[in-house]
Structure 1
């Protein structure tokens, strides 16, 4: 009995420590909650809801100025169609959009009139084909004629670099914003992408690009190609939309060695160091320059007129083998169609014809051309005299 009583006391004391419990199965009452107590959400769900609300507010804030601008522009366009009397000068401080048409209903656009000489290399001069200048004109697209009068024909232009994948055709319309979105700027930490004359001033609707050099290659942009672009500079032709110009896409390579390579075949206007055995800024280059020989054409002209003099200019430092290689390379140059006619004092009816490197190519007698292969013996004797006289001159 005593043991049983002790057991009951212990059990009773345990129940006293667990109020509301009645035996081992009474633990379910602990999960009951006060129905008046408010539900407290988890911390994670609170953070997610706050972020959603913040993002929505930011989105609305960023969209508001865009929507305002779009609505403002549409209102301006609608009012402009109703006539100048109905259109206010300004809406919310914005000026009216540029007119598409120029004076007298003209449709103005810039256009390149020269193709670029390719390939292009960093540090090399940007030129037209065969070393020609690069021209740009202001056209009236309605007539196809160059605009030679009016303030637009004397506008200042900016020369820019464009993405090569700006693929809209020249006769396809694009907006000013589309053009500007394809302008390429220099890479961070690099020099300006174009160095030189980055502005052109039109004169009676025609402009000529000065010296331009690319300072970086085109391998780092998406299309791996550039285009040259041209637009009217800020402050000129305000209120008139003049469509920009662009060239074909091209690659700019970064290879310093290309600037010192020999040309095969060399061109007449190439620097003389483009020939084999003549190093750029080397001893032979200096000797030739000091004697007025700057181009391949100059070299070939003296080679024809006085080969011995040319050989002596280069001196003993050039071996016979080097000389033969140099002359052989120079003679692969493609000549132009330029010719000279020399008339002797004795007769004005017969003239000797020379090409642009002073090689004799035939006679003109009584308005008839006679090639060297068809000359008579007497004519050949006369030719020697003509060549001697022409060489003296």
Structure 2
């Protein structure tokens, strides 16, 4: 029997998420076959079979997480399979487990699933299996347990693996830094008009990201990392872009953003967002960003308080563009503006430099009229 264990992919990562299993229980595999894709908050990795045999049991399902060194599956040869089957059959004949209240008719499941049902207080005889031939799966037991919990208490849903990673990351960010948020409106009336006149297809998100990159080059103190008492500033801008997906929040990285034209940045940001939204994380850099932008404009949000993506010292939140009436020279005119929310780590940057950076972002937005 060979145990497939969760490998260590980074010195600072102690837990990884199962993204996708390429095999199912009962599948035959050869040495070198890709078994599963696992994800940390930084990257996606493939785990290959180190031996040939048959997938006997998958212990950690898609969407669940496992600690480094934990067994996530087992591979057995034909002899192992025959011995295990005889052993399990004998155990099933000798003992009928009880789950939930009172006794129940015997249901054949693996010892692991029987224990899971017993711990969850689920009666196996009341579950209709969704597996091949009506076999009860782990998901069936968990769904039954959640349904029972919801009915009795109205809550009790367990965090998914990626949700746990996000929660841990955000709590660490808030506990280990001194975060403060500044807000400001940016007038984009002229930029909006120029965008329409030039029929530019560059998104507003890209325009703000491009202006942010230009401002970071003028204010390197914001393009930095802080770890312990060490502050490291960078000449190159590697821009993180928060992307919301059905499974949670991801931050892919646009490396070398300072070297890109507006059109090239727009193209690459759209490709990154599309890949991440579809769940295709292979080959996408998820670490090394020096500053992050998060955009909630499509949800109609104005100002908000984004949480820093450690070890960065700042993150810019972008709200929805809106029209408003302003008084100029005694006349009421219509203008357009975008709300920006800058959260920065006060350990590394003071309020005045952070405010100047936010002003620079606004100024770079105005300068973009010459580039469209």
Task: State the TM-score, normalizing by the size of structure 1.
Answer: 0.22
Whichever of the two has the greater Rg, that structure is 1
| Larger relative strand fraction | 2
